[in-house]
Amino acid sequence: MLVRRVLPDVNFTGSTTVINNQTINPEVTMTVGVRNFPGAANATSNASNVPNPRDVTSTAVIDQYTNQVFVRCRGRQMNFRISSDGLGVRWQLGLPRVDARPDGLRG
């Protein structure tokens, strides 16, 4: 499949992010990864152990005003991780949506 964009749906209710007495917008980091084989790491190699440039990992910063994130990932399986290491950042994941379509490798 080809993943073109993600609609994150992250809620920051209750966040109190203050740095140097200034309130800043809370944010999280979203990482989207794809792989072609079950159990393989992101950005894998093909069956001949040749690195496949189409396997990618995309990272984006999400804040309360982010509506969509454009990515370009191609693979058989997709995963994503949302994390934050900011002090005082409270977030809740809703129902993210993924814009994907069937795709294949051309040889």
pLDDT digits (tens, 9 = 90+) for 4-18: 889 999 999 888 776
Domain residues of the chain, as ranges?
Answer: 2-95
Residue-wise pLDDT for 44-80, tens only, equals 445 555 555 554 578 889 988 899 999 888 888 888 8
| Coil, helix or strand at residue 61 | strand
Residue 71: which of 36, 105, 98 has the closest Cα? 98
How far apart CA 45 and CA 28 sit, in angstroms, is: 29
What's the predicted TM-score (pTM) here? 0.73
